[in-house]
Amino acid sequence: MDLLKRFYVYELIDPKNNNAFYVGKGQGERALTHGFEAGDERSNSKKAQRIREIRERGQEERVVVIGRFDTEAEAYSVESTLIHWVYGIDNLTNIQGGHGSKFIRPRKEFAILMHLDIPKRQAKNRVSDGLYSEELRKKRDKFEVMEYL
């Protein structure tokens, strides 16, 4: 009986500073293949260069599985969130942001993004100028719960 779920999200970690430099989604032995890529001197990706730098220091990159998932879609969602929201793609060696990354707010991006943000609704007891009604203002001022419908 195989207890591990098929899909996983992993990070490659630099042991010098314990920082992730790559986030990926995989299955099987995918997370271990980056070391082989770095061993090929023809590979000049930032990720391969970083692995070679780590190995030149006499260390090995660490592979850490962050989570395991039943579906590939779940794994892609976590991968994209880590890349865009947690680390920021500019802080990693990833070439792309992962599947569905256009639906993840970029790190430290707080501007309104029309395809992400929840549209504002009028509250039940709001007056048309956007201010709270007198009833809701009193509840707010007394720290009572305000109900929105």
Tell me how many helices (H) and strands (E) the chain has: 4, 3
pLDDT tens figures, 100-115: 777 777 777 666 666 6
Rounded CA-CA distance 16/116 in Å is 37
Residue in 12, 37, 13, 14 with CA at minimum distance from that of residue 25: 12
Mean pLDDT of 69-85: 94
Asked whether the beta carbons of 44 and 52 are under 8 A apart, the reply is no
What is the model's pLDDT at position 40?
A: 86
Helix (H, G, I), strand (E, B) or coil at 33: helix
CA–CA distances in Å: residue 40 to residues 11, 48, 77, 101: 21, 9, 30, 29
Give pTM, 2 decimals.
Answer: 0.73
Query: Residue 145 above 50 pLDDT?
Result: no
CB atoms within 10 A of CB 24: 23
The dihedral sign for the CA sequence 101, 106, 107, 111? negative
Query: Residue 86 above 70 pLDDT?
Result: yes
pLDDT tens figures, 36-65: 888 888 889 999 999 999 999 999 999 999
Query: Residue 126 above 60 pLDDT?
Result: no
What is the model's pLDDT at position 149?
A: 37
Confidence grade of residue 140 (pLDDT, cut at 50, 70, 90): low
In the chain, what are the domains?
7-103 (3.40.1440), 118-149 (no CATH)
